[in-house]
Every structure is written in structure tokens, then in C-alpha cells.
């Protein structure tokens, strides 16, 4: 592996001054807003169906198109971060998000609303890899755990708060206020970025491989679309693309085949440092294991986010707003624990927090597997709090270990790979949990029309038990994740070794 380019900010921790701290806080706040927007549309679908006169299948595209765009754009961000300055990329991301939010707020119908969501997703996809790469390059290792704790807040709390905030807004206002509330915040962040955002790291000019971009779009887009379609079909929807009915497995298979060719193409291009997504990041054992554990954790997070509101509303009989409020304490708990977990990671190491976090996550999912149609709402609340406690101990050390094990020159590619895995795993978690719940409840009831609270509770129980099995595997993986120290070598030595590797074709 080529030796990393020296990073002056790591040699002098005093260089992490007020200007750099402002940049990190600005990125954190902006990322929180854009990620919050990712899940804010879920509970708004019934209102949109009534106001716009659309079907559920058409309305689902507001979420599916968002996820699809994210999965296509995120793999490209590693290359974008290499080519563009931090300030330019931040301005581009927030400009796209602000424009998309404005289009959604004034949309007269589904068409413009859908375009606005796609434009929003383009900005959202850039923001998280940019944040993670900037923290890795800018923040001294001794302070990185605390900042990774705040990134974990963004990644875990923002999606959890989305349904709650959406429910509160829709209780008294129209769906347009979902975007009108966010718009001034994004405008302020954009203005501050233009005025104060510094540039971090060094840019390099590299040709863009168009074939890699196309393979990435078909591969990741096909998998995410297919997984989302599986969840929609299990929930009574239909998979239609350009007017043609599709089986959900078709785009998954197409995407998988495209990904095989994408990986092959990157292995060839990375010999000359021209890869769209440099897979040499996976040579780091801590990073590779962290990516796997990220996938398991995101499946648990998004699976529970989609299933618990369904259970609380359709089995226990609570309203949409009440279902959102049940998830609120867990989201707040993750937010409150983020800085403390980060300090623990800095002081005691990542494994000290990571292993207990995965065990608690597994126990929480097993406890959710005990829910019945007569369970108390307090049982749901306590189990979700336990799940939030476990995930709070997982995301922060994973961010620290995974990106901390990479040389600075590969940090942007590592951030892009983590972001891509999170999107695919989130779509997979939604599809798996909803599909298992639907299949089991339909099997017990005899037909979809005959599903009652008892059958739905049984389906929910089996889905969470399956999640418990996956989380238990994740706890085992956590035991093998160790922290790596990345050695920074002189520039001349780094370039010589990089040239030698390129010549050897390794």
C-alpha cells in the first residue's frame, strides 16, 4: 500500500484552532439537517396522497428516488473530494440541498416534488463523506474520538428524529412546512460556508473514468432500488419502472452483476491511482471488519425505524404522532451519549466501548422479539431505549477505528465506501424487516386482507428475532476489530513507494 502523504495538521495539534473548529461545527450542523431530511417524508405519505391525489405506489417514489440518488452519488464523492476543495464542495452540496428544498416547498404536484427530492439527495450524498474526510484530515488523533461521537449523533439521531419532527409538523401544518422549516436553516449554513469554510487537504487532478461512473450507478442504484422494491411489494405496493411491471429481484441481479464489473474495473484503475472508489481501503483489516459491522448496525437501525411505528400504530392502536414520540427518547439518548462515548474512545480505546455496544444492541433486538399484541407501550419504549444505548456505543468507535486505520490519502475513499454501505444496508434493513413481517403475518392470517393485530404482532416478532441473530453475529465480529496506528512517512519515501507499487501492478 502506498505510504500516506504527510499531514501537517496531525503533526501540530495547535493548528486545530477556532477557524478549523468552526468548519467542523458547520459541517456537523449541515450534515444533521440534510440527514434529518432523509427520513422526514415517511409519515407524510398519507397526507401527500390526499393533497396531491396520488397513489401509495407513486408516493413511495419520494423516498425511493431519494435513496436511489444517494446510492448513485455517494460512490463518486471519494473522487470529488480528491479533485475539489473543501469549500467548493461544501458550497456545491448545500446549494443543491437548498435548491431542492425550495423546489419541494413550492411544488404544485408530484413531478416537481420528486425532482426536488432528487436534487436534495445529491447534496445530502456529498455532505456525509465530506464531513468524515474533513474530520480525519483536520482533527488531531487525540481529539478525534469526540468528533466521531458527534458524527455518530448525525448518523443515528437525525434519522430517528425525522419521523417525530414530521409528525409534530403535520399535526398542525401542511406538508409544505416540512421543507419551509428546513429552508432558512440550509440558507444560513450556505452563507456561513461561503464566508468561513476553510480548505482542507490537497487536491489532485485525475481523469474521471466514465465506465466506472456508469457501472457504479447501475450497480449500487440497482441493488438499492431492488431492495426498496422488495419492501414496498411486501407492504402491498407494486414495482413499476418506466411503465413496466418488474419483479424486485430483477434490478437486484442486474445491480449485482454491474458491481462485479465495477470492482474488477477499480482493481485495474487503482494500480495507476485512477480508481473512482479505491478498494485498497479494504486491505486494512480494521477498516474491512468495521465496514461489515456498519452494515449490520444500519440494518438494525433502519429496520427498527420502519417496523416500530407500524407495530405501535397498527397493533397497539396509537396515532402517527404518538408513534413518532415513542422513538424520540431513544434518539435523544443517542444524542446525549455521543460526546461521552467519544471521550471514552479517546481515553480507553474503541474496543472498550464497541464490544459492549454490540452486545447491548443484540440484547435489545432479542427483547423486541418478545413483543405481542398485548404488550405495553412501555415495553416498546424501554426496548428502543436499550437499542439506542447499544447503537450509541457502536457508531462512534466504528467511525474512529475505520477511518483512523487508513492513510490520509485514502480517507476520502474510505468515507465514500462507508456512506455507500450505509445506504445499501439501510435499504436492506427496511426490505428484510418489512418482508419478513409481511410474509409471517400473511401466513398466519391466511391472506393479506385478513391480517389482524395478532398476526401482525407475530410477524413483527419474527422480524426482530432475525435482527437479533444478525446483531449477535455483529457482536462476534466486534471482538476481532483492533485499532491500527497509521504511520506518516516523509513525502519522498511515500512517492517512491507509490511508484513502485504502480509498477508492480499490485
Instruction: Round to whole Å and give the CA distance between 323 and 162.
Output: 12
- Taking only the tens place, the pLDDT of each residue in 442-481 is 888 887 777 888 888 998 999 899 889 889 999 999 999 8
* Predicted local confidence at residue 205, as pLDDT: 66
Per DSSP, the residues of 278-342 read: -GGGGGSHHHHHHHHHHHHHHHHHHHHHHHHHHHHHHTS---HHHHHHHHHHHHHHHHHHHHHHH
Indicate the pairing of strand 240-241 with strand 244-245.
Answer: antiparallel
- Residues 37 and 182 sit within 8 Å (Cβ to Cβ): yes
The more confident residue out of 77 and 207 is 77
The more confident residue out of 321 and 55 is 321
* Least confident range of 63-67, 106-110, 389-393: 63-67
b/e 351-364 (16+ beta carbons within 10 angstroms → b): bebbbbbbbbbbbb
Instruction: Round to whole Å and give the CA distance between 420 and 126.
Output: 11
Confidence of residue 317 (pLDDT cuts 50, 70, 90): confident
The more confident residue out of 434 and 498 is 434
Confidence of residue 2 (pLDDT cuts 50, 70, 90): very low
* Least confident range of 383-397, 458-472, 484-498: 484-498
Per DSSP, the residues of 357-421 read: HHHHHHHHHHHHTT--TT--HHHHHHHHHHHHHHHHHHHHHHHHHHHHTS-GGGHHHHHHHHHHH
* Predicted local confidence at residue 411, as pLDDT: 81
- Taking only the tens place, the pLDDT of each residue in 48-69 is 877 888 766 677 678 778 877 8
* Predicted local confidence at residue 403, as pLDDT: 80
Confidence of residue 350 (pLDDT cuts 50, 70, 90): confident
* Predicted local confidence at residue 200, as pLDDT: 66
- Under CATH, domain 17-504 is a member of which superfamily? MFS general substrate transporter like domains (1.20.1250.20)
R_g of the chain, CA atoms, integer Å: 22
Predicted confidence (pLDDT) at residue 139 exceeds the cutoff of 60: yes
Confidence of residue 504 (pLDDT cuts 50, 70, 90): very low
Q: Where are the domains of the chain?
A: 17-504
Q: For the residues 302-306, what does the mean pLDDT come to?
A: 77
- Taking only the tens place, the pLDDT of each residue in 213-223 is 888 888 888 88
Predicted confidence (pLDDT) at residue 487 exceeds the cutoff of 50: no
Which residues neighbour 287 within 8 Å (Cβ) at sequence distance 6 or greater? 281, 401, 402, 403, 405, 406, 414
In a 13 Å sphere around the CA of 88, the CA atoms on its Cβ side amount to 8
Q: What's the mean pLDDT when you consider all of the chain? A: 80
- Residues 393 and 354 sit within 8 Å (Cβ to Cβ): yes
Instruction: Round to whole Å and give the CA distance between 99 and 104.
Output: 9
Amino acid at each position: 500500500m502506498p505510504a500516506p502523504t504527510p499531514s501537517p495538521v496531525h503533526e501540530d495539534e495547535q493548528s486545530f484552532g477556532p477557524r478549523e473548529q468552526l468548519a467542523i461545527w458547520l459541517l456537523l450542523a449541515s450534515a444533521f439537517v440534510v440527514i434529518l431530511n432523509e427520513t422526514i417524508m415517511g409519515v407524510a405519505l398519507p397526507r401527500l396522497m390526499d393533497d396531491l391525489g396520488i397513489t401509495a405506489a407513486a408516493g413511495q417514489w419520494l423516498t425511493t428516488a431519494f435513496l436511489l440518488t444517494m446510492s448513485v452519488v455517494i460512490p463518486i464523492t471519494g473522487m470529488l473530494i480528491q479533485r475539489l476543495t473543501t469549500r467548493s464542495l461544501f458550497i456545491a452540496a448545500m446549494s443543491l440541498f437548498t435548491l431542492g428544498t425550495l423546489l419541494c416547498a413550492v411544488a404544485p404536484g408530484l413531478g416537481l416534488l420528486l425532482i426536488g427530492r432528487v436534487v436534495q439527495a445529491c447534496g445530502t450524498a456529498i455532505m456525509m463523506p465530506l464531513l468524515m474526510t474533513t474530520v480525519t484530515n483536520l482533527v488531531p488523533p487525540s481529539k478525534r474520538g469526540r468528533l466521531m461521537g458527534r458524527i455518530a449523533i448525525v448518523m443515528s439521531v437525525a434519522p430517528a428524529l425525522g419521523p417525530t419532527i414530521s409528525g409534530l409538523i403535520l399535526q398542525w401544518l401542511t406538508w409544505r412546512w416540512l421543507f419551509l422549516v428546513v429552508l432558512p436553516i440550509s440558507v444560513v449554513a450556505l452563507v456561513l460556508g461561503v464566508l468561513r469554510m476553510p480548505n482542507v487537504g490537497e487536491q489532485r487532478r485525475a481523469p474521471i473514468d466514465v465506465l466506472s461512473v456508469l457501472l457504479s450507478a447501475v450497480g449500487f442504484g440497482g441493488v438499492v432500488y431492488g431492495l426498496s422494491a422488495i419492501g414496498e411489494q411486501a407492504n402491498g405496493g407494486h414495482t413499476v419502472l418506466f411503465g413496466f411491471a418488474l419483479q424486485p429481484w430483477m434490478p437486484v441481479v442486474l445491480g449485482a452483476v454491474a458491481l462485479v464489473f465495477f470492482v474488477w474495473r477499480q482493481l485495474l484503475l487503482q494500480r495507476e491511482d485512477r480508481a473512482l472508489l479505491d478498494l485498497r481501503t479494504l486491505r486494512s483489516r480494521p477498516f474491512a471488519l468495521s465496514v461489515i459491522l456498519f452494515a449490520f448496525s444500519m440494518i438494525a437501525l433502519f429496520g427498527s425505524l420502519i417496523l416500530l411505528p407500524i407495530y405501535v400504530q397498527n397493533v397497539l392502536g396509537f396515532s402517527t404522532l404518538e408513534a413518532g414520540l415513542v422513538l424520540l427518547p431513544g434518539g435523544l439518548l443517542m444524542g446525549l451519549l455521543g460526546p461521552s462515548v467519544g471521550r471514552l474512545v479517546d481515553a480507553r480505546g474503541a474496543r472498550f466501548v464497541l464490544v459492549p455496544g454490540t452486545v447491548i444492541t443484540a440484547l435489545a433486538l432479542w427483547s423486541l422479539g418478545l413483543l405481542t399484541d398485548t404488550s405495553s407501550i412501555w415495553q416498546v419504549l424501554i426496548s428502543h431505549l436499550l437499542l439506542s444505548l447499544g447503537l450509541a456505543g457502536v457508531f462512534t468507535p466504528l467511525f474512529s477505528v475505520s477511518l483512523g486505520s487508513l492513510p490520509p490519502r485514502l480517507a476520502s475513499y474510505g468515507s465514500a465506501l462507508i456512506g455507500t454501505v450505509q445506504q445499501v444496508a439501510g435499504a436492506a434493513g427496511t426490505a428484510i424487516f418489512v418482508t419478513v413481517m409481511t410474509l409471517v403475518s400473511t401466513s398466519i392470517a391466511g391472506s393479506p386482507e385478513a391480517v389482524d393485530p395478532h398476526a401482525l404482532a407475530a410477524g413483527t416478532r419474527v422480524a426482530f428475532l432475525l435482527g437479533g441473530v444478525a446483531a449477535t453475529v455483529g457482536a462476534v465480529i466486534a471482538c476481532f476489530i483492533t485499532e491500527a496506528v497509521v504511520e506518516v512517512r516523509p513525502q519522498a519515501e511515500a512517492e517512491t513507494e507509490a511508484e513502485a507499487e504502480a509498477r508492480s501492478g499490485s
